[in-house]
Amino acid sequence: MKIYCDGATSNNGAQDAIGGWAYVILDEEDDILFEKNGKLTQTTNNICELTAMIQACEQIARIKFENVTVYSDSAYIINCYA
Protein backbone atom coordinates (compact mmCIF):
# COMPACT_ATOMS: atom_id res chain seq x y z
CA MET A 1 0.00 0.00 0.00
CA LYS A 2 1.23 3.51 -0.80
CA ILE A 3 0.23 6.83 0.72
CA TYR A 4 0.90 10.08 -1.11
CA CYS A 5 0.19 13.11 1.05
CA ASP A 6 0.75 16.84 0.80
CA GLY A 7 -0.22 20.12 2.40
CA ALA A 8 0.37 23.76 1.59
CA THR A 9 -0.50 27.18 2.95
CA SER A 10 -0.65 30.72 1.63
CA ASN A 11 0.52 33.38 4.10
CA ASN A 12 2.03 30.68 6.29
CA GLY A 13 1.14 31.24 9.95
CA ALA A 14 -0.62 34.57 9.38
CA GLN A 15 -4.09 35.39 10.68
CA ASP A 16 -5.50 35.18 7.14
CA ALA A 17 -3.59 31.99 6.21
CA ILE A 18 -5.54 29.49 4.11
CA GLY A 19 -4.21 26.00 3.65
CA GLY A 20 -5.12 22.76 1.99
CA TRP A 21 -4.20 19.12 2.43
CA ALA A 22 -4.78 15.91 0.50
CA TYR A 23 -3.90 12.26 0.41
CA VAL A 24 -4.25 9.36 -2.00
CA ILE A 25 -3.94 5.72 -0.92
CA LEU A 26 -3.02 3.17 -3.60
CA ASP A 27 -3.03 -0.61 -3.51
CA GLU A 28 -0.26 -2.92 -4.74
CA GLU A 29 -1.41 -2.46 -8.37
CA ASP A 30 -1.45 1.34 -7.99
CA ASP A 31 -5.25 1.48 -8.07
CA ILE A 32 -6.76 4.26 -5.96
CA LEU A 33 -8.36 2.92 -2.80
CA PHE A 34 -9.06 6.19 -1.03
CA GLU A 35 -8.54 9.89 -1.59
CA LYS A 36 -9.50 12.88 0.47
CA ASN A 37 -8.71 16.59 0.75
CA GLY A 38 -9.64 19.51 2.91
CA LYS A 39 -9.15 23.17 3.73
CA LEU A 40 -7.84 24.84 6.90
CA THR A 41 -7.80 28.48 7.98
CA GLN A 42 -5.43 30.32 10.32
CA THR A 43 -2.92 27.53 9.83
CA THR A 44 0.67 26.74 8.92
CA ASN A 45 2.28 24.62 6.25
CA ASN A 46 3.36 21.99 8.80
CA ILE A 47 -0.18 21.68 10.15
CA CYS A 48 -1.49 21.07 6.63
CA GLU A 49 1.23 18.49 5.93
CA LEU A 50 0.51 16.70 9.22
CA THR A 51 -3.25 16.83 8.70
CA ALA A 52 -2.87 14.99 5.40
CA MET A 53 -0.74 12.28 7.03
CA ILE A 54 -2.99 11.92 10.08
CA GLN A 55 -6.11 11.66 7.95
CA ALA A 56 -4.46 8.99 5.77
CA CYS A 57 -3.34 7.03 8.84
CA GLU A 58 -6.85 7.14 10.28
CA GLN A 59 -8.17 5.73 7.00
CA ILE A 60 -5.68 2.84 6.78
CA ALA A 61 -6.27 1.97 10.44
CA ARG A 62 -9.77 0.88 9.38
CA ILE A 63 -8.51 -1.69 6.84
CA LYS A 64 -6.17 -4.66 6.94
CA PHE A 65 -2.71 -3.93 5.58
CA GLU A 66 0.77 -5.37 5.86
CA ASN A 67 3.16 -2.78 4.47
CA VAL A 68 2.72 0.93 3.90
CA THR A 69 5.10 3.27 2.07
CA VAL A 70 4.64 7.00 2.64
CA TYR A 71 5.52 9.58 -0.02
CA SER A 72 5.69 13.21 1.08
CA ASP A 73 7.68 16.33 0.25
CA SER A 74 7.60 17.28 3.94
CA ALA A 75 10.93 16.84 5.71
CA TYR A 76 8.97 17.26 8.94
CA ILE A 77 7.02 14.04 8.23
CA ILE A 78 9.76 11.99 6.58
CA ASN A 79 12.44 12.80 9.16
CA CYS A 80 10.21 11.89 12.10
CA TYR A 81 10.88 8.23 11.22
CA ALA A 82 14.67 8.62 10.98
Cα angle value 24/44/39 (rounded, 5°): 45
Contact 53, 23 (CB under 8 A): yes
pTM: 0.88
For 3-58, the pLDDT digits (tens) are 999 999 998 888 899 999 999 999 989 999 999 999 999 999 999 999 999 999 99
Query: 8 — phi, psi (to 5°)?
Result: -155, 155
Residue 65 has what pLDDT? 73
